[in-house]
């Protein structure tokens, strides 16, 4: 409305100037040349006056934006830095969950219910269970995106609330289940795992994540700009870029949430080898439905409705014949024989 109003005022002014001018000329008080010169000068004055009018609009929009920003800046995070933090120490990577329960704000039931386990440096702990069981929630409380409602989580025996947040998150490399892609080049997307990494390091991890080949096939290779939702790369390719990013981070604790989801079995196998090498020196918590790594895991935790229902090695759990044996058993091929055609695409 404001802009339309300005337009109308402008048109009325132009009409008034011409009208008055014609009047003055007909009364012989002015020449046509004078009217034209006057109109030309008014024309010069128009843009600055118009901009001044726009300023009001811009200010209103900016004030509204600033108010929203302030709301975000003023919000108190539910997870706070400790008031008396422990001093930084060379972290080994012992992770301990002791009777941890957690319920999401506003949720009706616990997403974690009295979970207790430990993971030692160099160990591969595999977490599996049905969808919605609470597996990703484990990674969220360990990185302190949320604090548990009961129980304690420790890193090298130190309760997490006593560890400075920045320091804690430096010690953990997290590959989240949702692919997080920054609106930037592929190089920047990998480098943000460890700012300041050299090009050689970036290429090394990209090779390990089976990403180098498809990156170099792009016209701008590592300088290609990517963003979620654009068609430059497929979902599985973006996933491999995030795996490279996690590999670049030399953190003592590595959490991988569904690292092979969305990858075909060949690509999954390609990245599993380097992942194994990466895991050898760190505490690795791998959340997955893909149980092909299970025989190598030091311990397997089976989560069901927030509770830890089974824990042990692959052989122990299969022998037990419980939930894990069902999950790891042969998958019924419900569709086999019913599809009319199977198409294999090769590009």
136 binds Mg ion (CB under 5 A): yes
Q: Which is nearer to ligand ATP, 289 or 320 (CB)?
A: 289
Inter-residue contact 226 to 234 (CB < 8 Å): no
For 280-303, b/e burial (b = at least 16 CB within 10 A) is: eebbbbbbbebbebbeebebbbbb
- Rounded Cα distance between 35 and 13, Å, is 14
Binding span for Mg ion by CB under 5 A among 171-179, 214-222, 276-284, 296-304: 171-179
104 binds ligand ATP (CB under 6 A): yes
Binding span for Mg ion by CB under 5 A among 132-140, 197-205, 241-249, 277-285: 132-140
In 79-223, where do the E strands start and end?
A: 95-102, 112-119, 124-129, 150-155, 158-159, 172-175, 184-185
- Rounded Cα distance between 280 and 121, Å, is 9
Binding residue for ligand ATP (CB under 6 A) from 1, 40, 107, 266? 107
Q: Which is nearer to ligand ATP, 208 or 288 (CB)?
A: 288
- Residues 6 or more apart from 279 whose CB is under 8 A from it? 124, 254, 286
* # of chain residues touching Mg ion (CB under 5 A): 2
154 binds Mg ion (CB under 5 A): no
Inter-residue contact 185 to 241 (CB < 8 Å): no
342 binds ligand ATP (CB under 6 A): no
- Interaction with ligand ATP in 124-153: which residues (CB under 6 A)? 131-137
DSSP letter (8 states) at residue 124: E
Q: Tokens 């490399």 label which residue?
A: 173
* Partner from Mg ion, ligand ATP, none binding residue 137, C-beta < 5-8 Å depending on class: ligand ATP
198 binds ligand ATP (CB under 6 A): no
Shortest CB 135 distance to ligand ATP, Å = 3
Tokens describing residue 151: 């129980």
Q: Which is nearer to Mg ion, 238 or 255 (CB)?
A: 255
| Strand 283-287 versus strand 124-129 pairing type | parallel
Shortest CB 178 distance to Mg ion, Å = 9
Residues that bind ligand ATP (CB under 6 A): 104, 107, 111, 131-137, 177
């Amino acid at each position: 409305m404001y802009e339309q109003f300005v337009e109308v005022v402008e048109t009325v002014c132009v009409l008034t100037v011409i009208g008055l001018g014609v009047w003055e000329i007909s009364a012989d008080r002015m020449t046509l040349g004078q009217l034209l010169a006057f109109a030309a000068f008014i024309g010069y004055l128009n843009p600055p006056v118009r901009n001044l009018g726009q300023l009001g609009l811009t200010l209103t929009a900016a004030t509204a934006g600033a108010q929203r920003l302030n709301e975000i800046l003023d919000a108190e995070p539910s997870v706070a830095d400790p008031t008396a933090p422990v001093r930084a120490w060379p972290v080994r990577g012992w992770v301990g969950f002791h009777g941890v329960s957690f319920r999401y704000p506003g949720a009706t039931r616990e997403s974690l219910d009295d979970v207790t386990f430990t993971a030692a440096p160099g160990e591969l702990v595999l977490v599996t269970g049905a969808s919605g069981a609470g597996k990703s929630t484990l990674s969220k409380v360990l990185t302190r995106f949320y604090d548990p409602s009961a129980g304690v989580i420790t890193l090298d025996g130190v309760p997490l609330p006593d560890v400075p947040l920045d320091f804690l998150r430096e010690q953990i490399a997290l590959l989240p289940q949702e692919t997080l892609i920054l609106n930037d080049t592929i190089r920047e997307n990998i480098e943000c795992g460890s700012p300041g990494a050299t090009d050689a390091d970036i290429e090394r991890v990209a090779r390990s994540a089976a990403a180098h080949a498809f990156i170099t096939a792009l016209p701008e290779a590592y300088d290609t700009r990517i963003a979620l939702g654009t068609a430059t790369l497929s979902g599985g390719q973006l996933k491999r870029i995030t795996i490279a990013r996690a590999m670049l981070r030399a953190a003592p604790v590595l959490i991988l949430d569904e690292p092979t989801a969305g990858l075909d079995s060949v690509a999954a196998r390609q990245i599993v080898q380097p992942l194994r090498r990466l895991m050898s020196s760190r505490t690795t918590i791998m959340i997955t439905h893909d149980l092909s790594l299970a025989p190598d895991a030091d311990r397997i935790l089976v989560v069901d409705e927030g509770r830890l229902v089974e824990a042990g090695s692959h052989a122990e759990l299969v022998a037990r014949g419980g939930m894990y044996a069902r999950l790891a058993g042969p998958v019924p091929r419900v569709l086999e024989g019913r599809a009319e055609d199977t198409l294999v695409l090769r590009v």
